[in-house]
Amino acid sequence: MGKSKIKTEDDFIKWIEQQVAYYKPFLGLSLQRIKAERDDSTQFLRIKLVYPYLDPTIGFSEKALTEFKKGTIFKDRILHELCHALTDPLYVKSTDRYASKTEIEDERERLTDVITVIIRNLLDKK
């Protein structure tokens, strides 16, 4: 029997990057450069977006790293964080004290169109 390799923080970053690369084309995020890094200020995983820019960072905590080392973290946790890249523009506008109805409607239409592209991407793969 061979020894299993001990997983490291670098392995976790590579694993996150692999999940990002897999999901990006389906979610229409191909133009974005998404990196991963340790972030002890987060509880588990968190994507940090600076609206309207396209280079978010997925931060992870010691707890997430431990779950990775145990093999108990699922790929869809990264998918969840990536979905924030789709929904957060609407969130940013809706929580802005001075957002107009037109701005909210524009972001709603943008999000609806992104969801349309995601579904089209999935159906085109069949």
Per-residue pLDDT of 36-64, as tens digits, reads: 999 999 999 999 999 889 999 999 999 99
Any idea what the Cα angle at residue 80 is, between residues 33 and 53, rounded to 5°? 35
What does the DSSP 8-state code read for residue 6? P
Q: Could you write out the three-class secondary structure of 18-49?
A: HHHHHHHHHHCCCCCCCEEEECCCCCCEEEEC
Per-residue pLDDT of 87-104, as tens digits, reads: 998 888 888 888 899 999
Sheet holding 57-60, edge to edge: 35-38, 57-60, 45-48
Which pLDDT does position 34 carry in this prediction? Answer: 97
Which pLDDT does position 3 carry in this prediction? Answer: 64
This prediction's pTM: 0.85
